[in-house]
Chain A
């Protein structure tokens, strides 16, 4: 028990830092494993062990010290070329790291750490040491070693007497240290005050990390002599949080002030207030930064996990990490750890194939998992991709049907992406065997829940035979965001700027531009049809009364983006852009999907923050419910969400439709800007070349139209943009469709009733492949699978 030590806090600090050191040591060992000649990695591990040894002796933790000492010796011998580095040593080092971790954990739980058995390990290390010493050329070194040993052992003897006053012990040690002027003292201070030096070079960047662990100030004796290169300080987390709150309040008060000042005419007052505004913004930005931590803090453990896991199941897998210093609010860092861990373990366990399988499919034996993080439009995106098996759409489809989550027909009608997303459904797992690693069927849905709980989204893409990519998007900051204040009736609402794509005002006649397709209002925005949602419907409160004079009536639409989709939100009034402080809403209101929180706006009023994703989710399902009510006379009504379809007129004036999910945008293109390139039609489009595919050509129908401009649907074909030329673009509809006939002809997935008329739902992927616009030796999915 830690009764021995008067100053328990010093021990706590030792433990916190030791854990960090050991993590750094693991990194070093694995770097070293990749390249046994990597001197830097070796040095890094050596330094960690050295520090651990020194500090643990300072606390009288003989057991820790003993192991650290032996391990350090082995490395020292390698450094002096007395011992040949090999895989066995790497394994021993990893074992040492694990044992040390165990000891530290026991210590932090207040248990006896001496029970951690490392006799066998120490024996092996001793053997290597003795071998190495035999090879040691200069006897002088041996003496130096002995002297060092003595120095480290002496302070320990002082300590075995529990009765002694701690302060006296400290002083004694310090005297010893002073006398020797060896690393002893520096060990403790450097250990306590400056960790960064011991951490191995990561990604060749030396990023100073602010340490904000909970730790009371270090005792004066030790901190007095902190190293001059120390540029970090430790402060309590609660202090940072307090600062955050105060800054939030400051921003609010500044906003209020600005509102009042803007009405005055005093120039000096206005400009002073502006200056205040700038300083406040900068203050806020910097305080926010203190809350940000690099993703690396969560990722650090993964390489080791992947290594150990892959070895245990006989696979060769490498984990690469890109963008480790991408920063994330500290409150979110913890929340993503579990989801990430699960996805990675999944990739290792199920995604990546065994070395033989990989060889047989022409891949490298070593599988690769890539962790990537970057910032994008106010969010942090984390991608986990593997080059493994990819998802088997048929297996998943079968599972969906077997679990009764959807009927066979529905599943056949779903886009690939929709099918893949079913793996997030509770109780879903296609793993043939439930291993103790993953596959229990409780993982993926928990992953999604956890990520959504912090306001993020998770999605995935997969190519059978090539691999899978998971994408997690998390909001960047929590507290203060730029937003637009809008009104419905007499209430204020707020929309985060990051969700806004544009603003539209319709006056008088223009209001007719909102068209109505089967009960869903839509608006044509630069060629795209976007659904319209009325804020009044969302909040179920009446709108402002219509103007008497039709000419004067105005309609305001806020174009809102949710993931890759857009919709228009009709509001009564658009007020202004403001920086608002996001306040937690209270657990009683958390379940209301349309709100993301509440805030206090400039004039001191409370305004609810609209959750655009929640609105989209709710309103889309509402619309499809409406549609299904109308269609209830049909037999065999499908359950499940309606999908969006782009309706077009194909060759021969045929009614056709394309799954809207894969449609990137719609364009009208001048015929004369189309060029011919090696017998294909292409277009210079947005800085690159866009390949064009004519539906008429595919279906072998004469292109009769000689209009100057063509209607092109920009389609997402496996990540590439392809232009599909159609006769006319009709509508975008959201419907649950009923499949009437499957595969009626090449290029058509099935026939279905869309808007009460028979429509051909195109299999655009097949159309693209059938147009043979890629190299001849590109195999289609089926051909590859058959191989």
Chain B
């Protein structure tokens, strides 16, 4: 599946893995730490945050990817996305840079990565120093109970 829309990606880290989402969808990045927990919500929902009067659901990506809990929260950030007319926040370990990618470096997801992260990627870009995995936003936001 080729990614053919914008070629700018907002990147971030989960552990050592660099991930990216289309910059077009990203509204802002905020450090907010006050999550209001929602009892009985899916496990990957960390809670809600109050973004200037708007309530945004924050999804802990580590939990979503069934990773261990974050040991170093000092650089944790919220990436506020706009998807389907509503806003949602993705909690990530660390923010990377905005990268422009070259489609010629695109590859499908290798099997081992796919397994490790539960099919939540759409593809990989080979960068100079590392691999950039493109997040499957739609799948990420489909939370099970």
Contacts and interface: CB of A to CB of B under 8 A. Distances in A.
A591 B53 contact: no
Interface stretch (B8-16, B55-63, B105-113): B55-63
A592 B54 CA distance: 20
Interface in B123-145: 141, 143, 145
A541 B45 contact: no
Interface residues of A, number: 24
B83 to A, nearest CB: 9
Contacts of B116: none
Contacts of B118: none
Interface stretch (B22-30, B31-39, B71-79, B96-104): B31-39
A637 interface: no
Contact of A598 (B39, B40, B55, B88): B55
A647 interface: no
Nearest to A252: B53
B145 A588 contact: no
Contact of A604 (B50, B88, B145): B50
B88 A586 contact: yes
Given A586-B55, A586-B56, A586-B88, A592 B48 contact: no
B114 interface: no
Nearest to A594: B40
A193 interface: no
A604 B141 CA distance: 27
A589 interface: yes
B5 interface: no
Contacts of A491: 37, 39
A600 interface: yes
Interface string A439-464: 00000000000000000000000000
A539 interface: yes
A378 interface: no
B68 interface: no
B86 interface: yes
A600 B50 contact: yes
A196 B87 CA distance: 40
B37 A589 contact: no
A675 to B, nearest CB: 55
A606 B42 CA distance: 18
Interface in A594-652: 594-595, 598, 600, 604-606, 608
B145 A591 contact: yes
A589 B45 contact: yes
A453 B37 CA distance: 24
A587 interface: yes
A588 B36 contact: no
In this complex, the member of A588, A594, A598, A604 whose beta carbon has the largest number of chain B beta carbons within 10 angstroms is A588
Contacts of A591: 145
Contact of B55 (A541, A583, A592, A594): A583
B41 A592 contact: yes
A493 B102 CA distance: 49
Interface string A547-589: 0000000000000000000000000000000000001111111
Q: Chain B contact residues (Cβ within 8 angstroms of A): what range?
A: 20 to 34
B84 interface: yes
A587 B84 contact: yes
Contacts of A267: none
Dominant SS at the A interface? mixed
A540 interface: yes
A571 B40 CA distance: 17
B44 to A, nearest CB: 9
B55 A585 contact: yes
A658 B74 CA distance: 63
Contact of A540 (B39, B54, B59, B143): B39
A598 B48 contact: yes
A249 interface: yes
A733 B131 CA distance: 63
B144 to A, nearest CB: 10
Nearest to A489: B39
A595 B39 CA distance: 10
B143 to A, nearest CB: 5
B53 A608 contact: no
B50 A606 contact: yes
A588 B40 contact: no
Contact of A541 (B36, B39, B56): B39
A598 B41 CA distance: 13
Interface string A229-251: 00000000000000000001100
Contacts of B145: 591
A232 to B, nearest CB: 30
A777 to B, nearest CB: 58
Contact of B41 (A249, A583, A589, A604): A589
A110 to B, nearest CB: 27
A600 B45 contact: no
Contact of B38 (A248, A584, A589, A604): A589
B57 A589 contact: yes
Contacts of A588: 41-42, 45, 57, 59, 88, 141, 143
Contact of B53 (A249, A539, A584, A587): A249
Given A491-B37, A491-B39, A539-B39, A586 B86 contact: yes
Interface in A9-34: none
Contacts of A540: 39-40
Interface in A529-547: 539-541
A259 to B, nearest CB: 16
Contacts of A249: 53
A606 B48 contact: yes
Contacts of A586: 48, 55-57, 86, 88
A249 B50 CA distance: 12
Contacts of B86: 584, 586-587
A583 B41 CA distance: 17
A497 to B, nearest CB: 21
Contacts of B38: 589, 592, 595, 598, 608
Contacts of A595: 38
B53 A600 contact: yes
Contacts of B42: 588
Given A541-B39, A606-B36, 18 more contacts: A539-B39, A539-B40, A540-B39, A583-B54, A583-B55, A584-B55, A585-B55, A586-B48, A588-B88, A588-B143, A592-B38, A592-B40, A594-B40, A595-B38, A598-B55, A600-B50, A604-B50, A606-B55
Interface of B: 36-42, 45, 48, 50, 53-57, 59, 84, 86, 88, 141, 143, 145
14 contacts: A252-B53, A540-B39, A541-B39, A583-B54, A585-B55, A588-B59, A588-B88, A589-B38, A592-B38, A595-B38, A598-B55, A600-B50, A606-B36, A608-B39
Interface of A: 248-249, 252, 491, 539-541, 583-589, 591-592, 594-595, 598, 600, 604-606, 608
What 4 A-B pairs come out closest when comparing CB atoms? A586-B57, A539-B39, A606-B36, A583-B55
